[in-house]
Amino acid sequence: MRFRVLVTDDIDPDGLALLTSDPRLQVDEVPTLPAAELLEQIDQYDAIVGRSATRISGELLRRATRLRVVGRAGVGVDNVDMATATSLGIAVINAPAGNTIAVAELLFGSLLGLMRHLVRAHSSLMEGRWDRAQLLGTELKGRTLGIVGVGRIGSEVAARALAFGMDVVGYDPYVGDERFRALRIRRAPSLDALLPDVDILTVHTPLTPETTGMIGRRELARLSPTAIVCNLARGGIVDEAALVHALDNGIVRGACVDVFTTEPLKGEHAFGRLQNVLLTPHIGASTAEAQRNVAVDVCVAVRDALVHGELTRSLNVATVSGAEWRELQPALLVAQRAAAIARAMLLDQGIRLIQRIRLRVSPDLAGAQSALLAAACAGVLENVVEEGRLNLINARAIAEARGIELSTAELADGTSGPTVDVSLGGGVREIAVSGAAPAGGSPRITRIGAFHVDVTPRQTLVILTNNDVPGVIGRVGTALGDAHVNIAEYHQARLAQGGEALAAISVDGHVPDTIRERLLGLQDIRTAAIVRFGVSDAA
């Protein structure tokens, strides 16, 4: 049997050739198929490959009775209804790595453009002027580059910066020392420590709740007034209003910006009147090579998925489907959320670098250890790695690549019902969180560290430790109530009367960081951690 593949949107010919030359595949290339016709024809295909132009809606997926794979030549899968694809067991495959070099190279293009006034130099000549006096530039050599986010792109930026003779310092609390040593760059212990040190600051993190606005007014003010700020990652990591204000008021010297909070950036915009910026319209990945790389990457992965059932590149969890998948859901959720809770507790103690993940499961879950460990890895990595990449198939590999030690074991028999225990370690600290995952019932968190609790992890879990004295629950309840936070469950646990107590408070919706400060200000509260669970769980 030949698999039928529909290629919509323009895909680089090298990628396409991989599909068309394979005798096991029959490829129809229709780059401009109207949506209605696509709906009509989709049930004839085993795979669809495209870029971002074709919307892969829930309706389209439901009509696609034969479809097994959706391939996206690029990173973002915003155009694919992921939840529907996953529920239908359709693998969604993207190509996240193909544009790394393109972004790293653009950074230096932009930086040199700004530092050597290339845009002004060019336009002055085009306007018939020979204006050398206005065009005195500065050099990269000897300057200090600060990289926030030493992942794929950050690492390539580091290598190129060293070749320019720059001094490179990186800040990434989720990457181990080993990686910094391998890249031959210095490690900054904190963002605050990095800022005053650098001539050029560049961010290469994903956009997450933690990184949104991470370079704001306060951070810009800590930079030298001669510093240059670059954002070629995602709009909003550098606060736009704060950046414009800093550029306007001599707080920083210049900026290179490729990504914006609202795109496309059109007409009148705040950067428009500034001379000391170099703006590009989100072209970080726009090179022939990157387009070729992503096309080849995705076409290889789509071919292997169809022909060999090889789904390691799948973004969703298409391998687990039907009844087996449904049964495992509560346990996967417990593993992921227990890991996220443990990570938040360690973070609360100032530990960001997770070095060990140990999963223990009750004997009835022994067969699913691998998937559960992946879910725990996803819980540790959510909001740390680029969104859209993390899933049960790749979470383990990402964790291992980051140097996290993984292990699994069985819990001694005697547990009542399916139980998952996730223990995270960083330095000498270790914290274990357990949960119960009754089949068909709702998952519960049953232990946090030494404390026995019983709460359902909803959108947000507030975890407090406090002195076991009267009145604390009332004060916490009032503080949350005043902030319009609706408590769904409040579980108070203690080890011994009058000692340390722990409260696990499950709440609906979002709890802002300001509330953490308020809770920490209450009498008898020792620590406060707020765990926001990922909106789209890898599970």
Supply the residues annotated as catalytic: 234, 263, 282
Q: Does residue 382 belong to the site contacting ligand NAD (CB under 6 A)?
A: no
CB of 424 to ligand NAD, least distance (A): 16
Q: Does residue 172 belong to the site contacting ligand NAD (CB under 6 A)?
A: yes
Phi, psi of 175 (to 5 degrees): -120, 135
Which residue of 15, 154, 449, 457 would you call a contact of ligand NAD, by CB under 6 A? Answer: 154
Could you give the string, one character per residue 53-82, with x where binding to ligand NAD holds by CB under 6 A and - elsewhere? ----------------------x-------
CB of 383 to ligand NAD, least distance (A): 7
CB of 284 to ligand NAD, least distance (A): 2
Q: Does residue 449 belong to the site contacting ligand NAD (CB under 6 A)?
A: no
Which residue of 73, 256, 384, 448 would you call a contact of ligand NAD, by CB under 6 A? Answer: 384
Contact (CB, 8 A) for 389 and 365: no
Joined tokens for residue 235: 């709009």
Q: Does residue 234 belong to the site contacting ligand NAD (CB under 6 A)?
A: yes
Sign, CA dihedral 450-453-458-464, equals negative
| Helix, strand, coil fractions of the chain, as percent rounded to 5 | 35, 25, 40
The DSSP secondary structure of 459-495, one letter per residue, reads SEEEEEEEES-TTHHHHHHHHHHHTTPPEEEEEEEES
Name the residue nearer to ligand NAD (CB basis): 3 or 180.
180
Q: Does residue 239 belong to the site contacting ligand NAD (CB under 6 A)?
A: no
CB of 13 to ligand NAD, least distance (A): 22
Could you give the string, one character per residue 97-126, with x where binding to ligand NAD holds by CB under 6 A and - elsewhere? --xx--x-----------------------
- Please give the Cα distance from 99 to 284 (Å, whole number): 8
Q: Does residue 186 belong to the site contacting ligand NAD (CB under 6 A)?
A: no
Q: Does residue 284 belong to the site contacting ligand NAD (CB under 6 A)?
A: yes
Name the residue nearer to ligand NAD (CB basis): 75 or 145.
75
Contact (CB, 8 A) for 237 and 260: no
Q: Does residue 305 belong to the site contacting ligand NAD (CB under 6 A)?
A: no
Which residue of 46, 199, 386, 421 would you call a contact of ligand NAD, by CB under 6 A? Answer: 386
Q: What letter does residue 21 receive in the DSSP assignment?
A: T
Which residue of 27, 88, 296, 385 would you call a contact of ligand NAD, by CB under 6 A? Answer: 385
CB of 524 to ligand NAD, least distance (A): 31
Picking from 351, 151, 140, the residue whose alpha carbon sits closest to that of residue 234 is: 151
CB of 37 to ligand NAD, least distance (A): 31
SS3 of residue 89 by DSSP: coil
Picking from 479, 532, 527, the residue whose alpha carbon sits closest to that of residue 503 is: 527
Name the residue nearer to ligand NAD (CB basis): 86 or 293.
293
Tell which phi-psi region holds residue 240, choosing left (phi > 0), alpha (psi between -120 and 50) or beta: alpha
Q: Does residue 153 belong to the site contacting ligand NAD (CB under 6 A)?
A: yes
Within residues 187-226, the interface with ligand NAD by CB under 6 A covers 204-208, 210-211
- Please give the Cα distance from 301 to 93 (Å, whole number): 7
CB of 147 to ligand NAD, least distance (A): 9
Interacting span for ligand NAD (CB under 6 A) from 21-29, 168-176, 336-344, 427-435: 168-176
Q: Which residue has the tokens 């609906």?
A: 508
Name the residue nearer to ligand NAD (CB basis): 81 or 386.
386
Residue type, 33: L
Q: Does residue 462 belong to the site contacting ligand NAD (CB under 6 A)?
A: no
Q: Does residue 394 belong to the site contacting ligand NAD (CB under 6 A)?
A: no
CB of 398 to ligand NAD, least distance (A): 8
* Beta carbons within 10 angstroms of residue 217's beta carbon: 15
Q: Which residue is nearest to ligand NAD (CB)?
A: 151
Q: Does residue 325 belong to the site contacting ligand NAD (CB under 6 A)?
A: no
- Please give the Cα distance from 95 to 71 (Å, whole number): 9
- Please give the Cα distance from 372 to 359 (Å, whole number): 8
CB of 453 to ligand NAD, least distance (A): 28
Q: Which residue has the tokens 């414009």?
A: 244
Contact (CB, 8 A) for 25 and 19: yes
Q: Does residue 170 belong to the site contacting ligand NAD (CB under 6 A)?
A: no
Which residue of 61, 148, 437, 507 would you call a contact of ligand NAD, by CB under 6 A? Answer: 148
- Please give the Cα distance from 354 to 352 (Å, whole number): 6
Helices (H) and strands (E) in the chain, counts: 17, 22
Q: Does residue 291 belong to the site contacting ligand NAD (CB under 6 A)?
A: no
**Would you call 124 exposed, middle or buried from its count of C-beta atoms within 10 A (0-12, 13-18, 19+)?**
middle
* Beta carbons within 10 angstroms of residue 78's beta carbon: 10
Picking from 111, 363, 372, the residue whose alpha carbon sits closest to that of residue 228 is: 111
Phi, psi of 137 (to 5 degrees): -105, -170
Residues in binding contact with ligand NAD, number by CB under 6 A: 34
Interacting span for ligand NAD (CB under 6 A) from 38-46, 133-141, 280-288, 409-417: 280-288
CB of 194 to ligand NAD, least distance (A): 10
Q: How far lies 458's CA from each of 145, 334, 341, 486, in Å?
A: 41, 11, 12, 12
Name the residue nearer to ligand NAD (CB basis): 100 or 144.
100
Cis previous bond, 363, omega within 30 = no
Residues that bind ligand NAD (CB under 6 A): 75, 99-100, 103, 148-154, 171-175, 204-208, 210-211, 232-234, 258-259, 282, 284-285, 384-386
